[in-house]
Amino acid sequence: MKISVCYIVKNEQENIRRSIESLKNQCDELIVIDTGSEDGTVDVVRSLGGKVFVYPWQDDFSAARNFALQKAVGDWLVFLDADEYFTAATAGNLRRVLEMASSEADGMLVDMVNFDADTGEVQDHFYQARLLRNWKGLHYEGIIHEAPQLSNGDTLSFQRVSSDLLQIYHTGYRRSLSREKAERNLPLLQKMVAMGKPEVELARYFCDCYKGLGDTENFLRYGWLEVQHGKRGGNYDSRCHTVLLNYYAGREDWDSHESRLRLCQLAVEQFPDLPDFWAEYSESLFQWRRYEEAVEAASRAICLLDDYDGMEPCQLLREKEAVEKLLHERRSLFRKKAEKVQEYSISACVIVKNEAANIGKWLANVKAFASELIVVDTGSLDATLDILKQHNIRYYKYDWQDDFAAAKNFALEKAQGDWIVFTDADELFTYPASIPGALADLVLAHSELESVEVPLYNIDVDNNGALLNINRVVRLFKNHAGLGYYGRIHEQIVDLANRERELVCMHGGRMMSVEHTGYSMHIISGKLARDLKMMLREVEQGANAELYFGHMAECYFGLGEYEKALN
């Protein structure tokens, strides 16, 4: 068996000697393609017994590699960059590894450890195709980030080599050179797209380039393009997931929190065996107050870390003992938080009439956090009750009395939970799975808490989900004697024995936000007419009209009666 080692170089005097010396006793032929060196690279190669072939650089890495293939006569090819070298502990195993290769293997994947040569810090490691059988028709494609292919279209089959047998150190990703490499690579990637290569197939490389150039907008754009494409089945498919998670985990803005959670969900779905992503997912779930799920994710990370031997690089293995200790500590914290959540039960209540369009979504929403559902029907004539029956939901009949407070208090009489969540059928929590944990944290921090005010986002579904406005409303309150609703319309939760007493109330924040679609254009006119009728009746029966002037003005305005609205 003959082994040919091939390099493509330019001005690599500082690196090439160490690389060649790491394997020269293992190879039969040393081929170096020089693309225009102006230092002592060529002299170093020749002094070490290498054959130098001059090749004019054409901004095409595949062309240079294919030129090397024309010169190589070995049964096996070893392709290295000048800044890559076999470790001292494994370099002497090269020939033995190739002799033991499976007859089914077209190539071998070798563990490559990336170092920052400026700091000595290990950046990451992953398996790379660096050993190939010299088959007829073997060639490289791609002017950058080139990949080996067979002319007959067959897919190359690779065998992984244990890192104990072979390992390569790579020092070419030093931070001081990252911008320089990005500036070199970006035009080549853009050239490939211009030549017809689908942009999505190069997304991970664009992501790296723009990250190196400090272009955050494009870095994120291409990173997400790669992540959403899904697992490709190649080497280091998880790279964009990792760099995006590193970006979002260090930020405190709300959009980053949402992106981090969504990215973690994709990462564990696409790479279920990688402990890094489960550990990151556990932290994101904790951030979102989903404590029980955080415990499960941390447990999964601990279990996978014990014997991980996958293709994707596992950063947690660098300091496995310390990481395992930290994971156990974090899981213990998550578990304590989860136990606090279990101390409070939640009853989700709603009053309905002809809510067939909404009740299914409401049920799905509240089931994420409620242990009890209380549905009060005030006279539905559509499919609302059929939908409730299909979901095996018990409901209570109530004769409508033009009094929202009376209907809601009827529902409260049925509720057994420690806390009540009372929403309309067209109101949905934006993050329902976070409600129990967020509530438990509020109660823990404020033991006298009686009610929780949340942001209510009024959404117009008839206008592409446009945001109409944001209000602050009470939608959660403690279920204890004395608290109930007051007011026929625009009812408020109060201490019924002392309506003037101000309840102990905290703002739940965006994590407890509610989206309301009841003010959408096709719905609003009917509601305004209904509400106006009820307020006018209240005034006729002696209620203080001034209490309703604001709401009446809104109703008249929405109904197009502008003079009355102005009055």
The boundaries of the domain holding residue 355 are 346-519
Give the three-class secondary structure for 477: strand
pLDDT tens per residue, range 306-342: 989 888 889 898 889 999 999 999 999 999 999 999 9
Q: How many domains does the chain have?
A: 4
pLDDT tens per residue, range 521-551: 556 677 778 778 878 888 888 888 888 888 8
Percent of the chain surpassing pLDDT 90: 77
Claim to verify: residue 296 and residue 410 sit in the same structural domain: no
Claim to verify: residue 440 and residue 498 sit in the same structural domain: yes
Tokens 């931070």: give the residue: 175
Distance CA 461, CA 120 (A): 55
Short-list 185, 181, 258, 196, CA closest to 224: 258
Claim to verify: residue 312 and residue 417 sit in the same structural domain: no
Indicate the residue type of 356: A
Claim to verify: residue 360 and residue 432 sit in the same structural domain: yes
Distance CA 250, CA 458 (A): 31
Written as six digits, the tokens of 36 are 């225009």
Q: Which helix (H) or strand (E) holds 413?
A: helix 404-414
Claim to verify: residue 51 and residue 138 sit in the same structural domain: yes
pLDDT tens per residue, range 221-239: 999 999 999 888 777 889 9
Claim to verify: residue 437 and residue 528 sit in the same structural domain: no
Whole-prediction pTM:
0.84
pLDDT tens per residue, range 55-88: 999 999 999 999 999 999 999 999 999 999 999 9
Claim to verify: residue 398 and residue 460 sit in the same structural domain: yes
185 within domain boundaries: no
Higher pLDDT, 438 or 537: 438
Of the residues 172, 203, 219, the one at which a domain ends:
172
Distance CA 373, CA 394 (A): 8
Distance CA 92, CA 130 (A): 16
Short-list 90, 93, 69, 88, CA closest to 79: 69
Kindly list the distances between the CA atom of residue 137 and the CA atoms of 145, 150, 222, 505, in Å, as whole numbers in the listed order. 19, 5, 33, 74
Of the residues 117, 137, 172, the one at which a domain ends:
172
Written as six digits, the tokens of 132 are 């190939």
Pairing of strands 346-352, 372-377: parallel
Tokens 């944001």: give the residue: 470
Cβ atoms within 10 Å of 195's Cβ, excluding its own: 8
Claim to verify: residue 267 and residue 408 sit in the same structural domain: no
Higher pLDDT, 552 or 106: 106
Tokens 């509240």: give the residue: 366
Claim to verify: residue 473 and residue 363 sit in the same structural domain: yes
Q: Which helix (H) or strand (E) holds 99?
A: helix 94-99
Give the three-class secondary structure for 447: coil
190 within domain boundaries: no
Lowest-pLDDT choice from 47-51, 89-93, 142-146, 484-488: 142-146
What confidence score (pLDDT) does residue 521 get? 57
Distance CA 234, CA 217 (A): 26
Give the three-class secondary structure for 541: coil
Written as six digits, the tokens of 389 are 């029956």
Claim to verify: residue 382 and residue 267 sit in the same structural domain: no
Give every CB contact of residue 439 below 8 A, 6+ residues apart in sequence.
Answer: 344, 346, 419, 452, 476, 508, 512
Claim to verify: residue 53 and residue 150 sit in the same structural domain: yes
232 within domain boundaries: no
Claim to verify: residue 447 and residue 405 sit in the same structural domain: yes
